[in-house]
Structure 1
Amino acid sequence: MPQDTDLTDAQPATTYNRVMLKISGEALMGPQGFGLHPPTVRRIAEEVKSVHDLGVEICMVIGGGNIFRGLSGSAQGMERTTADYMGMLATVMNALAMQSALEDLGVFTRVISAIPMDQVCEPYIRRRAVRHLEKKRVCIFAAGTGNPYFTTDTAATLRANEMSCEAIFMGKNGVDGIYDKDPKEHADAVRYDNVTYDDVLAKRLKVMDASAIALARDNKLPLIVFALDDEGGFRGILAGKGTYTKVQD
């Protein structure tokens, strides 16, 4: 168990002091087609630790698609609200897995759930979560917004605003930014270096759902999309290096 110490005097060596990292649940399944792949979870935890070591305060939201996706369950005939709550529980499982990996690396964390489940994680209380960040604990926000019909993209944007994050970093698998079309299917796909929120909505670029993009736009919260599977990519982009797409006005 890492030592829970107050590191508020540490000074970040990047352009950001507090950020939100949003990753999909699929990012945790590695080469498997389902579930959690412990070596992959640890590799991502090491990326987070490398940024935490710079003194940056880190929030995280992890999707649940590697275990259960509410929208897919609904499409197969399951009642949508029930399916979405099942998806929220999947995000809690992923958050606990990431917490275990981070603490094994000596990074103190808190899993904070929008659905109260006191025996496994903390309930969401904004002021308490802010205090955790000030003490340099990584805060992993789970169970989405606690409401059906909202994605973890929206949850990440909501929590990023509530926590006064300076940017949302969205880690993608095998894609180093936003393209005009799917680069995995089209060799002539063009990557954007910079794009506006309105362009993302108007061109229907598949980055976040429309609610999340609108929420980020209305609060002038930059979104940075990068390749999560590039070793050192998260730390490098925070230092102003690497390849990525930035979404802002």
Structure 2
Amino acid sequence: MSEPADLRYRRVILKLSGESLAESGKRGISGTEMATISGQIKLAHASGCQIAVVNGGGNILRGAQFSGANATVGEATAHYMGMLATVINSLALQDALEAIGLPTRVMSALPVDKVAEKFIRRRAIRHLEKGRVVILSGGIGCPFVTTDTAAAQRALELDADVILKATRVDGVYSDDPEINPHAVLYDQLSYQDVLTKKLRVMDATAIALCNEHRKPILVFNFKREGNIVRAVRGETVGTWIGQPSDSQTQ
């Protein structure tokens, strides 16, 4: 695949929450939301960027909802159920992308060979090089690991230039902007800022992994039309998390 001169990132991990596939405040999978996200991914892919998607499963269920003394499902089992939810979302996203002509492969860390390929690093890279969008499901195949950490892990394995963390707000705020109208939007943060300020961006394990390997994160609002394309081009959108010397504003 050719790389246009204005393309900042050669390869990215796009992290989508499960809730991004549902209508706001609802559960399940929305055809409208799927179509919107798919269209944005297609535009970003057309810019020449190689895209691997890691999605969550919170629109179907979260392992944490079964925690507590009165839980009838064991915590490890609940996490496996959550991983299967990401497979369901991945299959839906695959069909939505292929319906608009984008070649796609679903790869899973859990063995579900009837519907998805097993995740093999070199095969995933080859798919990306062939111009296919790769959807990475099943987390990393182990319980007690979030899909945020899975995104960080896959970014390292696939040598992605950046993790694009798609949200419904414009970036990282000092507080929940939907509750506190005076919350401050940060343009740039260090990994340590995220940890010390206890900002709810990605879990601490994912942030620590990115910090250790100097893997930057861009948190942005995917609901704004064209923002995924702007993000892969390195335009100033959202909140940059990483080393100041690696800033997108350079």
Tell me, in whole angstroms, the C-alpha distance in 2 between the residues paired with 1:12 and 1:161.
24
Would you say 1:84 and 2:79 are equivalent positions?
yes
Would you say 1:53 and 2:53 are equivalent positions?
no
Q: 1:213 aligns with which of 186, 207, 213?
A: 207
* 8 Å Cα contact 2:9/2:234 also seen in 1: no
Would you say 1:22 and 2:24 are equivalent positions?
no
Q: 1:241, CA displacement in angstroms?
A: 3.3
Aligned positions, number: 241
Unaligned runs of 5+ in 1: 1-7
* 8 Å Cα contact 2:76/2:143 also seen in 1: yes
Tell me, in whole angstroms, the C-alpha distance in 2 between the residues paired with 1:178 and 1:9.
33
Q: 1:227 aligns with which of 221, 233, 239?
A: 221
Q: 1:191 aligns with which of 164, 185, 189?
A: 185
Change over 3 Å in CA distance of 1:106–1:69 after alignment to 2? same
Residue number in structure 2 paired with 1:65: 58
Q: 1:34 aligns with which of 19, 27, 35?
A: 27
Tell me, in whole angstroms, the C-alpha distance in 2 between the residues paired with 1:118 and 1:12.
39
* 8 Å Cα contact 2:12/2:232 also seen in 1: no
For normalisation by structure 1, the TM-score amounts to: 0.94
Alignment deviations for residues 79-130 of structure 1 (CA, whole Å, 9 cap, x no partner)? 1000000000000000001100100111101100000111100001111111
Tell me, in whole angstroms, the C-alpha distance in 2 between the residues paired with 1:94 and 1:217.
29
Q: 1:32, CA displacement in angstroms?
A: 6.0
Tell me, in whole angstroms, the C-alpha distance in 2 between the residues paired with 1:84 and 1:239.
35
Q: 1:242, CA displacement in angstroms?
A: 5.0
Tell me, in whole angstroms, the C-alpha distance in 1 between the residues paired with 2:235 and 2:11.
18
Identity %: 45
Tell me, in whole angstroms, the C-alpha distance in 2 between the residues paired with 1:116 and 1:237.
32
Residue number in structure 1 paired with 2:112: 117
Tell me, in whole angstroms, the C-alpha distance in 2 between the residues paired with 1:243 and 1:57.
19
CA RMSD after TM alignment: 1.3
Tell me, in whole angstroms, the C-alpha distance in 2 between the residues paired with 1:17 and 1:35.
33
For normalisation by structure 2, the TM-score amounts to: 0.93
Alignment deviations for residues 109-163 of structure 1 (CA, whole Å, 9 cap, x no partner)? 1100000111100001111111001101111000001000000000011001100
Q: 1:10, CA displacement in angstroms?
A: 4.9
Change over 3 Å in CA distance of 1:152–1:81 after alignment to 2? same
Q: Structure 1: which amino acid aligns with 2:140?
A: T
Unaligned runs of 5+ in 2: 244-250
Would you say 1:201 and 2:195 are equivalent positions?
yes
Tell me, in whole angstroms, the C-alpha distance in 2 between the residues paired with 1:160 and 1:43.
24
Tell me, in whole angstroms, the C-alpha distance in 2 between the residues paired with 1:87 and 1:163.
23
Q: Structure 1: which amino acid aligns with 2:116?
A: C
Counterpart secondary structure, 2:145: coil
